[in-house]
């Protein structure tokens, strides 16, 4: 059963409603004044494990909440809080103000994480998941209200129900607290935190050879050779095949060649 390990958010939308209600965090009734449910406890567990693995590999957690800045401060503060006064907390900070991608681009290193707390329709999140992927940054999205498209982040931890009640009434804080608790629990088992095994077991590697990889164009040279940012660092990529790509564009790289410009999804 390898699939319960780090279940990708892409599978989220395929889940039947019964399953969500059965496995979800219990519905709060009178307490939080409206019917708020979720996120799925198994998704929380998978996200906690993935985050612990990244922390164990010296990642920084970047927190952003474009419309609710205090949620980002809350998350960063909670993760950064030392468990014991003598020990340092986890490296968690808020993304500086400004357009999210622009603020994060120079700061994020490959292997880092981005925790976004927001509603679905947040203009500054457009294409951020793909960009983060090109930078090698894991994305975790906590939110409430109408659900985002499946696959909008590596981990989507969603509260179904009224967005205002969830955001201002403590439900999103609860999700953050639970996620922190699970991450800390995982960090107590360092021998289980080796980076996820690479899928390169066959002669041809499906993750790096047969498929294109995402990269972000940094500069374009005169000879159509571009500097492209990928999770492995800056790479020189030939852009002869694609017309009109410029700095900031996401491209698909295959064997040192940019084969396509990737349309950034609206959200």
Partner 1 sequence: MRKEDSGVSRRALEAGEEELRALLSDLVEKARGEAEQADRLCRSSFEALRDELERAGRAIAQRLRAGGRLYSFGGGESSINAAGIAALFARSQEGTSLAARSLACDRAPGSAPGNEPSSGRQLAVFARAGDIAMGYSTGGDRDDVIATLAKAWRRGLLTVGFTDWRDDRMTTCGMLDHCLVVASHDPHRIEEVEAALSHRLWASVQQLLEDDGDRQVTGRRQPATGQELLVAEEAP
The site for partner 1 (CB under 8 A) is made up of: 1-2, 4-5, 23, 25-26, 28-33, 41-42, 44-46, 48-49, 68-71, 73-74, 77-78, 80-81, 89, 164-165, 167-171, 173-174, 177-178, 181-182, 185-186, 189, 191-192
Q: How many helices (H) and strands (E) in the chain?
A: 7, 10
Q: How far is the CB of 221 from partner 1 (least distance, A)?
A: 42
Beta bridge partners of 216: 229, 250
Tell me how far apart the alpha carbons of residues 57 and 193 are, in angstroms, rounded to a whole number.
Answer: 9
In the complex with partner 1, the residue whose CB is nearer, 180 or 226, is 180
Contact 228, 245 (CB under 8 A): no
**Phi first, then psi: what are they for 30, rounded to 5°?**
-55, -40
Q: How far is the CB of 266 from partner 1 (least distance, A)?
A: 22
In the complex with partner 1, the residue whose CB is nearer, 165 or 239, is 165
Q: How far is the CB of 32 from partner 1 (least distance, A)?
A: 5
In the complex with partner 1, the residue whose CB is nearer, 193 or 218, is 193
CB atoms within 10 A of CB 43: 23
Q: How far is the CB of 236 from partner 1 (least distance, A)?
A: 37
In the complex with partner 1, the residue whose CB is nearer, 28 or 152, is 28
Question: And the tokens for 98?
Answer: 């400004």
In the complex with partner 1, the residue whose CB is nearer, 42 or 252, is 42
Could you give the count of Cα atoms lying within 13 Å of 61 in the half-sphere of its Cβ? 32
In the complex with partner 1, the residue whose CB is nearer, 72 or 104, is 72
Of 157, 66, 154, 158, the C-alpha closest to 111 is 154
Q: How far is the CB of 169 from partner 1 (least distance, A)?
A: 4
**Phi first, then psi: what are they for 198, rounded to 5°?**
-70, 150
Q: How far is the CB of 79 from partner 1 (least distance, A)?
A: 10
Tell me how far apart the alpha carbons of residues 243 and 197 are, in angstroms, rounded to a whole number.
Answer: 36
In the complex with partner 1, the residue whose CB is nearer, 174 or 259, is 174
Question: And the tokens for 182?
Answer: 């699970």
Q: How far is the CB of 160 from partner 1 (least distance, A)?
A: 14
Q: Which residues touch 188 (CB under 8 Å, ≥6 apart)?
A: none
Q: Which residues touch 164 (CB under 8 Å, ≥6 apart)?
A: none
**Residue entry with tokens 């040192």:** 256
């Amino acid at each position: 059963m390898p699939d319960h390990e780090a279940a990708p958010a892409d599978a989220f939308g395929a889940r039947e409603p019964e399953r969500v209600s059965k496995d979800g965090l219990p519905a709060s009734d009178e307490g939080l004044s409206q019917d708020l449910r979720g996120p799925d406890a198994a998704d929380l567990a998978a996200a906690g494990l993935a985050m612990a693995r990244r922390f164990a590999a010296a990642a920084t957690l970047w927190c952003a909440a474009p419309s609710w800045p205090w949620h980002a401060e809350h998350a960063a503060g909670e993760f950064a809080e030392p468990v014991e006064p003598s020990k340092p907390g986890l490296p968690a900070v808020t993304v500086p103000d400004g357009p999210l991608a622009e603020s994060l681009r120079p700061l994020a290193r490959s292997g880092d994480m981005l925790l976004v707390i927001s509603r679905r329709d947040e203009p500054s999140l457009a294409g951020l998941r793909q960009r983060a992927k090109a930078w090698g940054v894991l994305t975790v999205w906590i939110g409430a209200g109408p659900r985002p498209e499946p696959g909008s982040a590596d981990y989507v931890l969603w509260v179904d129900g009224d967005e205002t009640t969830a955001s201002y009434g403590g439900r999103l804080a609860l999700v953050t607290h639970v996620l922190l608790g699970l991450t800390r629990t995982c960090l107590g088992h360092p021998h289980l935190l080796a980076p996820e095994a690479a899928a390169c077991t066959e002669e041809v590697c499906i993750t790096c050879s047969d498929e294109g990889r995402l990269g972000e164009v940094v500069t374009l040279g005169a000879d159509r050779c571009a500097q492209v940012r990928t999770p492995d660092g800056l790479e020189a990529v030939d852009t002869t095949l694609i017309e009109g790509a410029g700095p900031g564009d996401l491209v698909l790289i295959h064997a040192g060649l940019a084969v396509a410009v990737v349309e950034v999804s609206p959200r």
